[in-house]
Structure 1
């Protein structure tokens, strides 16, 4: 997935994925005190960390990207002192592709070794 160089705002913790464009816009405006019409990407994840939504304003309308993992989960920041985290678009790509990489890196553990 390729996005132009825009600021990326990650919503820490989980978000109700039943929210559509208007609901996510309200979160951006009210909870994060940010402008949903700015040139930025706003990224949300569900409780099980297997679905994300990305909200983007392109100048004449909103895009809502949605990804659901069939296996695995996204590494996602917990809600802490801050409700949002700012990333670069390259870091967003790493976050999205991280589930694939984690799956590739898993290896079966060897319990017995023999010397022939």
Structure 2
């Protein structure tokens, strides 16, 4: 058995909205295949969050079985997107931001300097 190195996973997907956190491996895998018509056996990590936004689950196929991770935060909440019935592909950077409590779509960006202006 190996633990997941998120930087080496080909695809990272976040299931937006609320997921029933009582669901286990079979229920979460069924959500991916039936509701979103995606392949759970592809090299992909799927992330799910409940209503409280203080815990999440991650589902990953390791080649010989599923790995189900469940994390509950003691302090703070996740900045989980609530667009129901949507799955978004994340970069490893966006995953880091999410797990640090930041938005996966930051609104602040560095603007290029205007030509001829002094910095």
Q: What is the TM-score normalised by the length of structure 1? A: 0.78
Higher relative contact order (CA 8 A, sep 6+): 1
Instruction: Count the aligned residue pairs.
Output: 98
Q: Are 1:8 and 2:24 an aligned pair?
A: no
Check whether the contact 1:6–1:88 (CA below 8 A) recurs between aligned residues: no
2:97 to 94, 101, 104: 94
- Structure 2, unmatched stretches of 5+, are 103-119
1:52-108 deviation digits (Å, cap 9, x = unpaired) = 00000011111111110112100011125x511110123212211227xxxxxxxxx
- Structure 1, unmatched stretches of 5+, are 100-116
The CA deviation at 1:2 is: 4.0
Check whether the contact 1:57–1:63 (CA below 8 A) recurs between aligned residues: yes
Look up the SS of the partner of 2:56 in the other structure.
strand
**What residue is the counterpart of 2:61 in the other structure?**
57
Alignment of 1:33-112 (within 5 A): 33-80=37-84, 83-98=86-101
Q: Hey, what's the Cα distance between the residues in 2 that align with 1:12 and 1:25?
A: 15
Q: 1:96 to 1:2 in 2, by over 3 A?
A: farther
